[in-house]
Structure 1
């Protein structure tokens, strides 16, 4: 891969900016990076920092020459962007997204994808709570997981090509999953966690000097409550079915703990806590096995 790769990043927020910085940092292949962002100040920031080589607030000639287009917009905006610019993409270009919900997006994108491009749906399992290019970090993808949700029209060589790029910028494991499984698991391992963090911090009684009593536990559990509300509203609502299922399962477990405490049922409470410890250890062991398997690939 010695030919200069022309890459367009659409949306230079914290994720798009991090992709740009990571791509600029790697030394495996030469890259010419172009950015599209509606905010000229963001483009100027990215240019000054060397994250991109060229930028436009609205496409004029970037998409026409980009070999790879990474769209880091909200789900609704991804759809609108494709609709608006579908005739402007380069023949044979690879397109990909970074959104955290797939079933809804696939349904919206499939009917409008131009035949001349290959749209490979993707989801980086890494990021930051803060918003904006100023928080972009070229190291944020190091050792992270990346999920690709292939569709029937994807070319295997393009998936392999994208996977190579992703691993070059730090992703440890790139997995392929179907959209249904993606949304089911993301509802549990990501969206439910954000719901819990929001619920926890919002349940605090007003007027209390909570900050005087806070320790690492509360800080860690509420870290992700500093949330991008417009984005997460879309993610929650577009994955409503799977998220509600995850919330109901959590509520069942919460109620078991509540009942055990109400009844002062020492045995039931101990069993629930012991099971949690066991499951956490199993998760840690499974994670170690995944890391070991990945290091041998």
Structure 2
């Protein structure tokens, strides 16, 4: 069986590497990319077995086509794929993608692709701010979630094909509605991207940036890391999911306003301390594996339960307030 990869950057090349180490025996990978440098490097590192000179060559020679290209390029890729399908009388081709926005992609697929072509939207929840096949890693998907967004009309055999691909990647499939996916990803990925860009801009545009940049260490670098995202990718994300991003940005601003009020309220130091403590505990639970509704209420290995933490918090709060009161009386 031959699998085609359109787009041999970080994600596409990583998929190719993983297919070579964990794919079906006898399987081969053909790749296409508008960047000849990416394509040649993907071939050199054995992410692909052969180079296609066009999308038509990929489609004619593949049972599965994986689109790992920039989001705004996907519409044109669908049109090229469909032209090849019609010209070569191809049926039952299974197509998936790796874009981080899904609703717009599915709209394009439904309006462009032939009826006997099966597209299942995909989004591996793994990646890097780096770009290009030189940063590819066949293990990048291990133990991560890989969202797929089949519709009610998607045949089971096409779903099983993509599930087998995800299994080969070492990832865990997660079925979602496309609109639901875009809303949630906006909250935990897309909005934080633009929030971190804003944080970096806040510091960079300060008149004190020369001094700030010398003081900035791991905390600031970590909090602004996503500013290193490829600008084209960030632009495409907003173009295809701006309504949801705007919604989560508004909610983020509301949370900042709440924290601002807590910070300003000198009469409610207890409220600030309890809020910080509660978020600290929830973050520890999240890091320890509390994900999903069925797990959040469980007692986890490395985190105290809420009752124990309340007692701890009470003692910490008392000590903190007593120290503040003592210092104020000096």
Task: Give the alignment's TM-score, normalised by structure 1.
Answer: 0.89
The answer on whether the counterparts of 2:7 and 2:31 sit within 8 Å (CA) in structure 1 is yes
Aligned counterpart for 2:61 among listed residues 55, 62, 65: 65
Are residues 1:178 and 2:180 paired?
no
Residue in structure 2 matched with residue 199 of structure 1 by the alignment:
198
Residue in structure 2 matched with residue 188 of structure 1 by the alignment:
187
Q: For the residues of structure 2 that align with 1:214 and 1:107, how far apart are their CA atoms?
A: 44
Residue in structure 1 matched with residue 328 of structure 2 by the alignment:
none
Residue in structure 1 matched with residue 167 of structure 2 by the alignment:
167
Unaligned runs of 5+ in 2: 296-330
SS in 1 for 2:195: helix
| Cα displacement string for residues 178-214 of structure 1 (whole angstroms, at most 9, x for unaligned residues) | 0111011001011122122111111112532334323
SS in 1 for 2:224: helix
| Cα displacement string for residues 229-282 of structure 1 (whole angstroms, at most 9, x for unaligned residues) | 112112123212211111111111100111121232313312321331243244
Q: For the residues of structure 2 that align with 1:27 and 1:164, how far apart are their CA atoms?
A: 9
SS in 1 for 2:121: strand
Residue in structure 2 matched with residue 7 of structure 1 by the alignment:
3
Q: 1:65 to 1:27 in 2, by over 3 A?
A: closer
Task: Give the alignment's TM-score, normalised by structure 2.
Answer: 0.81
Aligned counterpart for 1:286 among listed residues 286, 290, 301: 290
1:46 positional shift:
1.6
1:28 positional shift:
4.3
**Matched positions, count:** 285
The answer on whether the counterparts of 2:56 and 2:81 sit within 8 Å (CA) in structure 1 is no
1:163 positional shift:
0.9
Within-5 A mapping of 1:176-255:
176-204=175-203, 205-206=206-207, 207-255=209-257
Within-5 A mapping of 1:84-95:
84-89=80-85, 90-95=90-95
Aligned counterpart for 2:272 among listed residues 261, 269, 273: 269
The answer on whether the counterparts of 2:6 and 2:55 sit within 8 Å (CA) in structure 1 is no
Structure with greater helix percent: 2
Q: For the residues of structure 2 that align with 1:60 and 1:236, how far apart are their CA atoms?
A: 30
SS in 1 for 2:119: strand
| Larger Rg belongs to | 2
The answer on whether the counterparts of 1:118 and 1:153 sit within 8 Å (CA) in structure 2 is no
